[in-house]
Structure 1
Amino acid sequence: MKLTIIGPWGGYPKQNAASAGYLLEHEGFHLLIDCGSGVLSKLQNILQPEDLGAVIISHYHPDHIADIGVLQHARLIQGFLGKNFPTLPIYGHSFDQHEFTKLSYKNITKGEAYDPSNILAVGPFQILFLKTDHPVPCYAMRIEAGGKALVYTADSSFKEEFIEFSSGADLLLCECNFYGNQNGKSAGHMNSIDAGRFARNAEVKQLLLTHLPHYGNLADIVTEATSEFPGIIKLAAEFDTFIL
């Protein structure tokens, strides 16, 4: 599996950047994980919208879905220009029907409801789900292919169930919206200490911090997480790639 960071920011994109968006590739299949503000613009540096195989959405906050509409229109316009491609499946939970229905648009995209209690097969990927602690229904994902495992926490404060869910993962893509001296629990987010302790207890091979805050010295987040996790820790950055 190859992971490319499209957008690492929480809440809203920094100038000329993007909020949550991650491109996962395996065996020529491209899966976009979340589609926040600015993601479509940044994605086109790597992949054209009509070449996506599927999209999967963790939850319906704007920093994770803001570019769904423009993705739909990009594919619509490319169709008008003569390109032929199948309807794009966009997987999301159906616990917010108002937002879920927006995933379908003409014959361009089709919303597909995932059942969080079952494994979802998307292209070459097997995806397991875990409900997170966040103000709206949100699902973390364990994505497996080729004998490797990526865990994406989506948005959540820490919960003990994460440990078993993420055990032994090759890469933990973990939200980290707060510094170590801040408590993000009431907002449904983790801080750097939470992320480091989580990675250590789950015995993951590498920790990648994302959904980053817009203030402070981000290097401090890595230093703080290192106090709990002795392994490899990196900050998610635009267009960084990771091979699992």
Structure 2
Amino acid sequence: MASLTVLGSSGAWPEPGRACAGFLLSHQNFHVVLDLGYGAAANLFRHLPPNRLNAVLVTHEHPDHMADVSALGRAWHYTVQANASGEPPRLPLYCTPGTVQRLAAMEPHPHPADLFDVHDLAAGTPPELGPFRLALVPLPHYKPNFGIRLTAPGLTVAYTGDTGPSPAIADLARDADLLVSDATHRVAPSPPRYLMTAEEAGHWAAQANARRLLLAHFWPGTDRAAAVADAQAHFPGEVLAAEEGRTILL
């Protein structure tokens, strides 16, 4: 059975005892990480050792979504590559070019390109990623951000990364079994809009006819129960709040 495990639920910086954005999607013994922000790598390793991970997808270059890819790279280098015979394996990493530059600034030796098989999301995507078909939808944010749609027979998972309100979210999450959505704010900030409220997440989940909605990327201090209630006012399906360690069966 497919599952999605929350590795991190905070936006910007991690609240005490929490981590920033990160999700582990597992299906047919294929394991892919969606973002890996501050503190999320430690939670990943509680559920899966590095040598069982098949791919990493990073929606955009902000450190609360990609800083712990550096920690994963170190674990990969010292455990997987160190014990490999022949050509050291590289872990597939799908991201924007600036992600690699940021990782290299944190740790240039070994260079991220020696640890990861890097694929530029802006250059297009492979039609398949393990059992999934991968599709990308650009969404509005301070940095180029790609919403991720992963589809397998009988299963669709959509993830916004960080985004402002946009009709493109409905396209990204059309008929999805689960939409993982940015829900940073309780009250909409002044425009331009590059992050969403839980109310807006519920609105776009309803427009997409998604089955379930997982609210994520909470600003530290957010009342998560209140955020769920905000989304429920606009979305008739099940609404969940991302909590570290929570596993959702799909």
TM-score by length of 1: 0.90
1:43 is aligned with what amino acid? L
Q: Is the 8 A contact 2:67 2:103 kept in 1?
A: no
Q: Hey, what does 1:217 align to over in structure 2?
A: 223
Comparing 95-104 and 120-129, the one that deviates more: 95-104
- The structure-2 alpha-carbon separation of the partners of 1:121 and 1:114, relative to structure 1 and needing over 3 Å to count, comes to farther
Matched, 1:75 2:76: yes
1:238 aligns with 2:241: no
Distance in 2 (alpha carbons) for counterparts of 1:217 and 1:99: 32
Match of 2:140 in 1: 133
Equivalent residues in 2 for 1:34-53, closer than 5 Å:
34-53=35-54
Cα deviation digits, residues 97-143 of structure 1 (max 9, x gap): 74487796364222111346555421111111111110110100111
* Structure with greater helix share of residues: 2
Superimposed CA distance per residue, residues 137-175 of structure 1 (whole angstroms, 9 cap, x where no aligned partner): 010011111321111011001101221232111111011
Q: Does 1:169 align with 2:176?
A: yes
Q: 1:34, CA displacement in angstroms?
A: 0.7
State, as a whole percentage, how many aligned pairs show the same letter. Answer: 28
1:2-17 map, 5 Å: 2-17=3-18
TM-superposed CA distance for 1:80, in Å, is: 6.9
Q: Report how many aligned residue pairs link the two structures.
A: 243
CA contact under 8 A between 2:70 and 2:103: conserved in structure 1?
Answer: no
Mapped to 1, the partners of 2:33 and 2:185 lie a distance apart of 25
Matches within 5 A, 1:25-174: 25-79=26-80, 82=83, 86-94=89-97, 98-99=101-102, 105=112, 107-115=114-122, 120-174=127-181
* Larger deviation, residues 31-40 vs 82-91: 82-91
Alpha-carbon distance, 1:184 to partner: 6.4
Contact 1:100 1:111 in 2 (8 A): no
Deviation at 1:15, TM superposition (A): 1.6
Q: Is the 8 A contact 1:184 1:190 kept in 2?
A: no
Alignment match, 2:201? 195
**Letter of the aligned partner of 1:25 in structure 2?**
S
Moved more, 163-172 or 27-36: 163-172
How big is the shift at 1:14?
1.5
Q: Which moved more, 1:100-109 or 1:89-98?
A: 100-109
Query: For the aligned residues, what is the CA RMSD?
Result: 2.3
Change (3 A) 1:216 1:78: closer
Tell me how far 1:202 sits from its aligned partner: 1.1
Choose 71-80 or 41-50, whichever is displaced more. Answer: 71-80
Q: Distance in 1 between matches of 2:89 and 2:211?
A: 37
TM-score by length of 2: 0.88
Deviations 1:67-105 (A, max 9, x none): 111111111111476356731011113377744877963
Q: Which runs of no fewer than 5 residues in structure 2 stay unpaired?
A: none
